[in-house]
Structure 1
Amino acid sequence: MRKAIFTLLSLFLTAILIVTLLVKTAPLPNKVLNGFDRTILPTNFLTPLGNMPADSIQLVSGATPTQLFFTTTDPTIILCTDYHLQHPRRIKLHLSQGLIDSLQTYFYTTIDSPFVHIFGYNMPAIVTLHLSGSHTQVFRFPPGGFSKAYAIAPDRFILRKLDRIIADQQFLKVNTTTNEITVEKNLSILHQDGGMSTDGSLVYDTASKKLIYTYFYINQFFSFDTSLHKLHAGHTIDTSSHFRFQLSDAAASGEHVFTSQGPDQIVNNTSFVYNGKLFVHSLLKGDHEADGKFGNNTAIDKYDINTSQYLGSFYLPVSPDKVRRIHIFNHSMVIECRDYIYSYTIDTRDSVLN
């Protein structure tokens, strides 16, 4: 018995030593040259408004000219503040217990006042109601969860949803009034891995009615219209042009469970759009960027949506490893981090944003 325990302990310690050695000797992406440089633009357009602890906040959900809305970990509670992140108040959504149980923690909420849209990842369904608490509409999908969703109108949505037959995710357009679902044609790269390797951020430019999808793991993005037709394709300035994601042998396709053999390097984090420009939070350091400047600030790269041309970069004064999402609402920028929410007034005439 002692020998068996000793053998198991030895194997456990050996495994730890091997993993530690691999981590120590692996080429870290920002400790080597990444093959590109940034053109840094001056950041003079931000004026701090306020901040508050993230606590139970799940994400920034929407805004009016005077208020910001935040999803909490409770699907029935919306937090509302002003742009200084002061005077918080709670809004109670009236949902049935059955819906609450179905949503659990796998949901996110967007608010385009007065409409509230709760996206149930795994139900899979979209729940729509008014902030005032009027009738709740539930639109249910065929089996297969979804990972991205955007409301382009109160009853129309763009989703990136798992199709179990092809074992990958595709973009859909949904009309919840007519019950019509339109599936993309040749818009997505398909790897039959549940959409993990091609994961990314989806944003919607309300001015041009264009959606832009930026990949997390490679230096590519593309735009498409609300009819799911591809418009433009572009590259971020880094050189990460190949997918390195591999599906684990343990991912039995018959069970619809997908896992990776190991973590891949995220090169593009969140993104946002403003005034016909795409802004991407890059996690890779340019070859001649100062370590301290890049490590202590969030690097944002700017691209023209119509031409995909790189237009320069700037820093936001927040730690890059904590940033989750960035939004621009009504002449304000809201930066959502893991520990705090930050709000800034922006000078929309500044050339950095235009």
Structure 2
Amino acid sequence: MRKAIIILLSLFLSAIIIVTFLVQSAPLPNKVRNGFDRTILPASFLTPLGNMPTGDSIQLVSGATPTQIFLSTTDPTLILSTDYHFKQSKRIKLALSKGLIDSLQRYFFTIIDSPFVHIYAYNLPAIITLPLSGGPAQVFRLPPGGYSKAYAIAPDQFILRKLDRKISDQQFLKVNTSTSEITVEKNLSTLHQDGGMSTDGSLTYDTTGKKLVYTYFYLNQYFSFDTSLQKLQEGHTIDTSTHSRFQLAEATARNENVLTRQGPDQLVNNTSFVYNGKLFIHSLLKGDHEQAGKFSSNSAIDKYDLHTNQYQGSFYLPVRAEKVRHIYIFNDKMVIEGRDYIYSYVINTRDSVLN
């Protein structure tokens, strides 16, 4: 018995040593040349307004007005409202039935598009809409298959990136909850039958051009499409990550209900946002001649013109890249949602590199 325990411990320690060696010897993406350089623009256009810790209950920044920021919580019935200095806050309770609350569990995200609240129950799957000022909830049930992205283009119209179990991949849908009409894209998404994991990305909306922009997490690509799900343009980010190394684990074949990765893939892009017809992408790759210390202690934001798809330079935000989850522009304010803190800044529009 003792001999068997010693053998098991030896095998366990050997496995740890092998994994450690592989990690240490692997070519980390920002320890080697990535094959591109970025042009750094002066970024003195932000003035801090305040910050607050997220704690365990804050889910995400869910919307804003010119004077208030709305924060959703892990409780689907509770919204927090605060000013941009995070000094004055209040609680907003939503009227949801107990059965609906129980069915949501933690599989939802909430967006406030005043005067409405949209709760995206991505695992049910369903879209729940109710007035922010109070009132009954309307629940629109979707066909089977969860969804990962959602954007409201009108109070009753939504663009979703949703799983189609027949093809084991995600496609974009346009949903009208008033007419119950669901339109499925045609030849908009690249399909790999991996549940949409290798083509995961961020979805944002260009209010100037009335188009949606989808930026891949694992590739140096993005594309735009209109609200009728027609592709408009394709663009590339400045890095050289043209291929994803994503693979499905053999233990979870495509005919199973659960799909997992074979191993970690390299994130190329994090969150993105659109402002004044420009696309801004939080890049996670360092330029070849970029100062390592500067890159590691800030977040590099690359700017692209959505009309020409041309790169127009980059700037740093004073938050470490690994801390950033989302970046928002609300009127003349920037809000950075971090893993531990939420930061707000006022934008000097006259000197802003966002224009």
TM-score range, shorter chain: over 0.9
Aligned to 2:80: 79
Aligned to 1:13: 13
SS in 2 for 1:106: coil
1:228-267 to 2 correspondence within 5 Å?
228-267=229-268
Aligned to 1:28: 28
| Equivalent AA in structure 1 for residue 192 of structure 2 | H
The answer for unaligned runs of 5 or more in structure 2 is none
Instruction: Report deviation, 1:351.
Output: 4.8
What are the superposed Cα offsets for residues 99-124 of structure 1, whole Å, 9 maximum, x if unpaired?
A: 11111111101111110000011011
Contact 1:61–1:111 (CA under 8 A) maintained in structure 2: yes
Give the number of equivalent residue pairs.
Answer: 354
Aligned to 1:295: 296
SS in 1 for 2:255: helix
Aligned to 1:50: 50
| Equivalent AA in structure 2 for residue 37 of structure 1 | D
Instruction: Report deviation, 1:53.
Output: 0.4
Root-mean-square deviation over aligned CA pairs: 0.9
The separation in 2 between residues aligned to 1:346 and 1:132, in whole angstroms, is 29
Contact 2:96–2:136 (CA under 8 A) maintained in structure 1: no
The separation in 2 between residues aligned to 1:101 and 1:217, in whole angstroms, is 35
| Equivalent AA in structure 1 for residue 146 of structure 2 | G
Contact 1:61–1:110 (CA under 8 A) maintained in structure 2: yes
1:199 matched to 2:200: yes
The separation in 2 between residues aligned to 1:233 and 1:220, in whole angstroms, is 7
Contact 1:218–1:240 (CA under 8 A) maintained in structure 2: yes
Aligned to 2:41: 41
The separation in 1 between residues aligned to 2:113 and 2:187, in whole angstroms, is 30
SS in 2 for 1:187: coil
Aligned to 1:334: 335
1:284 matched to 2:285: yes
The separation in 1 between residues aligned to 2:96 and 2:254, in whole angstroms, is 35
Contact 1:232–1:307 (CA under 8 A) maintained in structure 2: no
What are the superposed Cα offsets for residues 280-322 of structure 1, whole Å, 9 maximum, x if unpaired?
A: 0000000011011101011000001121110000000111110
The answer for unaligned runs of 5 or more in structure 1 is none
The separation in 2 between residues aligned to 1:351 and 1:4, in whole angstroms, is 67
Contact 2:193–2:254 (CA under 8 A) maintained in structure 1: no
Contact 2:43–2:352 (CA under 8 A) maintained in structure 1: no
The separation in 2 between residues aligned to 1:165 and 1:8, in whole angstroms, is 44
SS in 2 for 1:313: strand
What are the superposed Cα offsets for residues 8-67 of structure 1, whole Å, 9 maximum, x if unpaired?
A: 222211111111010000001000000000111000210110000011211110011111
Aligned to 2:169: 168
The separation in 2 between residues aligned to 1:330 and 1:353, in whole angstroms, is 12
The separation in 1 between residues aligned to 2:38 and 2:253, in whole angstroms, is 42
Aligned to 1:2: 2
| Equivalent AA in structure 2 for residue 131 of structure 1 | L
State the percentage of identical aligned residues. 77
1:217 matched to 2:218: yes
Instruction: Report deviation, 1:168.
Output: 0.3
TM-score, normalising length: structure 2: 0.98
The separation in 1 between residues aligned to 2:167 and 2:351, in whole angstroms, is 46
Aligned to 2:151: 150
SS in 2 for 1:321: helix
Contact 2:95–2:136 (CA under 8 A) maintained in structure 1: no
Aligned to 1:68: 69
| Equivalent AA in structure 2 for residue 65 of structure 1 | P
Contact 1:116–1:130 (CA under 8 A) maintained in structure 2: yes
Instruction: Report deviation, 1:252.
Output: 3.3
